[in-house]
């Protein structure tokens, strides 16, 4: 789950990281009030930032600086309602504008292949790290935290020197260790600061100081760990989630959309993966991963069918149920019911074995649905589902190339 910048910054603040004070506004008046407060306590400018879960807000015009409350309200009015990469801006963050001298990049993420936390740092901050990785790969420093002890001080110092922040050593070490702490405390799989700014402040006596500050923050939480963090679950932004994902979660279904055209309805994650593998081997492509769970009942089957059919690419549906706790007849009844209600008619191949498989077969036969085939073995089911999908996507006339 991706967090909005203002949520991510709260998590950073909780670990003692240097993040400026900020407010969240959903209309220009609120933005003006917040700006007034920051300008009164000495900020020369305020920054107004679109809160959407996509990167590149700066380039899209979603980050603006203002010098007066009126200007801040005008900027907020411009940004709110703006479309950034297909997402409508509903909230802005208002903060004292930083006088940024230089922009760096620092992140930590879960590196599954090494089973460790990987730190990435670069002096080329403020631009997308994916671009840096392609264009100037040498500009990124990589370092794995110790698997048991976390990021050690000397490792953080190595990072600092390699990106040229040796003159901000103490601050940098504290920030890098703070990112690690944020990651562990929240079961995050990514904590990214881009840019990590060198920020200039002028004291009342005119002395200039330069300090490091987290200007932007991006955190993603491991979905599987959210049960341990009800407070983070509350940060979920339903406005920016795919309605299909929301529906799947509400129904307790594990559903992941894929690129293919064969919808899959299977009980059990392992069986679902096997089914997808066999589809691939038979020359087809699964449209989704879907585990309806152990004791799936008719209503869950119907909900699963709606999710599958919400994808316009789907040309055939493969149902593969190994009845243990799940009863074959319940599933079959759910399938027949779901098909009678659906508007779009897509051919379906059903293989139900195990508990009450014989009853299931009777129910399916009685339905008298010409587009519903049954199969007894998984191989047979896969062959049929792939054949149907291929036939429906073959060019008209069927001329072979």
Task: Return the closest-CA partner of residue 14 out of 173, 184, 168.
Answer: 184
Catalytic residue among 6, 104, 105, 180: 105
Q: Is 250 noted as a catalytic residue in this protein?
A: no
Member of 28, 69, 97, 263 binding ligand GDP (CB under 6 A): 97
Residue 100 interface partner, choices Mn ion, ligand GDP, none, CB cut-off 5-8 Å depending on type: ligand GDP
Member of 2, 26, 30, 55 binding ligand GDP (CB under 6 A): 55
Q: How far apart are CB 76 and ligand GDP at their closest, in Å?
A: 15
Query: Per CB under 5 A, does 103 bind Mn ion?
Result: no
Q: In angstroms, what CA-CA distances link 22 with 8, 32, 46, 218, 387? A: 12, 13, 10, 16, 57
State how far the Cα of 325 lies from the Cα of 268, in Å rounded to an integer: 11
State how far the Cα of 385 lies from the Cα of 319, in Å rounded to an integer: 9
Q: How far apart are CB 41 and ligand GDP at their closest, in Å?
A: 15
Pairing state between β 348-354 and 316-323: parallel
Task: Return the closest-CA partner of residue 66 out of 55, 77, 52, 57.
Answer: 77
Q: Is 130 noted as a catalytic residue in this protein?
A: no
- Taking CB under 6 A as the binding criterion, the range among 92-100, 132-140, 182-190, 248-256 that sits at the site for ligand GDP is 92-100
Which residues ranging from 125 to 164 are in contact with ligand GDP (CB under 6 A)?
Answer: 126
Query: Per CB under 5 A, does 194 bind Mn ion?
Result: yes
Q: How far apart are CB 233 and Mn ion at their closest, in Å?
A: 25
- Taking CB under 5 A as the binding criterion, the range among 191-199, 331-339, 367-375, 393-401 that sits at the site for Mn ion is 191-199
- Taking CB under 6 A as the binding criterion, the range among 54-62, 148-156, 229-237, 368-376 that sits at the site for ligand GDP is 54-62
Q: How far apart are CB 209 and ligand GDP at their closest, in Å?
A: 16
Member of 28, 178, 195, 293 binding ligand GDP (CB under 6 A): 195
Evaluate the CA torsion angle 73, 77, 80, 86 in order and state its sign. Answer: negative
Name residue, tokens 């930590």: 108
| Residue number with CB closer to Mn ion (216 or 329) | 216
- Taking CB under 6 A as the binding criterion, the range among 95-103, 232-240, 271-279, 333-341 that sits at the site for ligand GDP is 95-103
Site string for ligand GDP, 10-49 (x = CB under 6 A): -------------------------------------x-x
- Taking CB under 5 A as the binding criterion, the range among 16-24, 186-194, 247-255, 268-276 that sits at the site for Mn ion is 186-194
- Taking CB under 6 A as the binding criterion, the range among 93-101, 294-302, 360-368, 374-382 that sits at the site for ligand GDP is 93-101
Phi-psi category of residue 68: left, alpha or beta, with phi > 0 → left and psi -120 to 50 → alpha: beta
Query: Per CB under 5 A, does 216 bind Mn ion?
Result: yes
Task: Return the closest-CA partner of residue 350 out of 370, 321, 387, 330.
Answer: 321
Terminal C-alpha separation, the chain: 45
State how far the Cα of 296 lies from the Cα of 326, in Å rounded to an integer: 6
State how far the Cα of 95 lies from the Cα of 80, in Å rounded to an integer: 16
> What DSSP assignment string belongs to 111-136?
ETTTTEEEEEEES--SS-HHHHHHH-
Size of residue set near ligand GDP by CB under 6 A: 17
Q: How far apart are CB 175 and ligand GDP at their closest, in Å?
A: 16
Q: How far apart are CB 265 and ligand GDP at their closest, in Å?
A: 38
Query: Per CB under 6 A, does 76 bind ligand GDP?
Result: no
| Residue number with CB closer to Mn ion (96 or 286) | 96
Q: Across-strand partners of 116? A: 111
State how far the Cα of 265 lies from the Cα of 323, in Å rounded to an integer: 13
Evaluate the CA torsion angle 313, 315, 320, 326 in order and state its sign. Answer: positive
Task: Return the closest-CA partner of residue 349 out of 387, 310, 326, 375.
Answer: 375
State how far the Cα of 239 lies from the Cα of 86, in Å rounded to an integer: 12
| Residue number with CB closer to ligand GDP (171 or 216) | 216
Residues 6+ positions from 148 with CB-CB distance below 8 Å: none
Q: How far apart are CB 86 and Mn ion at their closest, in Å?
A: 18
Q: How far apart are CB 202 and ligand GDP at their closest, in Å?
A: 15
Binding residues for ligand GDP, per CB under 6 A?
47, 49, 55-58, 63, 65, 97-98, 100, 103, 126, 194-195, 215-216
Binding residues for Mn ion, per CB under 5 A?
194, 216
* Enzyme catalytic residues: 105, 192
């Amino acid at each position: 789950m991706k967090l909005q910048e203002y949520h991510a910054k709260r998590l950073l603040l909780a670990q003692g990281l240097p993040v400026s004070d900020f407010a969240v506004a959903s209309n220009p008046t609120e933005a003006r009030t917040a700006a007034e407060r920051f300008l009164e306590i000495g900020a020369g400018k305020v920054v107004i930032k679109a809160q959407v879960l996509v990167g590149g807000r700066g380039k899209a015009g979603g980050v603006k600086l203002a010098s007066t409350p009126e200007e801040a309200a005008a900027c907020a009015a411009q940004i709110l309602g703006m479309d950034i990469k297909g997402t409508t801006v509903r909230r802005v963050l208002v903060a004292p504008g930083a006088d940024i001298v230089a922009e760096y990049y620092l992140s930590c993420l879960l590196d599954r292949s090494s089973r460790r936390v990987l730190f990435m740092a670069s002096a080329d901050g403020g631009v997308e790290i994916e671009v840096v990785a392609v264009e100037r790969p040498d500009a990124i420093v990589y370092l794995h935290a110790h698997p048991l002890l976390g990021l050690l001080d000397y490792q953080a110092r190595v990072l600092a020197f390699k990106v040229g922040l040796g003159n901000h050593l103490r601050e940098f070490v504290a920030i890098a260790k703070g990112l690690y702490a944020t990651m562990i405390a929240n079961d995050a799989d990514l904590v990214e600061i881009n840019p990590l700014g060198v920020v200039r402040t002028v004291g009342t006596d005119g002395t200039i100081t330069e300090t490091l500050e987290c200007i932007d923050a991006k955190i993603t939480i491991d979905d599987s760990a959210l049960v341990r963090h009800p407070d983070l679950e509350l940060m979920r932004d339903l406005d920016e989630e795919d309605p299909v994902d929301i529906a799947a979660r509400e129904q307790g279904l594990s559903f992941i959309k894929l690129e293919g055209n064969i919808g899959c309805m299977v009980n059990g994650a392992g069986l679902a993966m096997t089914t997808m593998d066999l589809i691939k081997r038979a020359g087809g492509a699964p449209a989704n991963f879907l585990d309806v769970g152990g004791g799936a009942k008719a209503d869950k089957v119907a909900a699963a069918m709606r999710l599958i059919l919400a994808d316009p690419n789907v040309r055939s549906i493969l149902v593969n149920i190994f009845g243990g706790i799940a009863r074959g007849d319940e599933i079959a009844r759910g399938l027949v019911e779901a098909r009678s209600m659906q508007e779009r008619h897509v051919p379906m191949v059903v293989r139900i074995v195990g508990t009450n498989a014989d009853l299931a077969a009777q129910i399916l036969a009685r339905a008298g649905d010409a587009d519903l085939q049954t199969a007894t073995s998984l191989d047979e089911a896969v062959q049929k589902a792939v054949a149907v999908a291929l036939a429906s996507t073959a060019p008209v006339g069927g001329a072979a190339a």
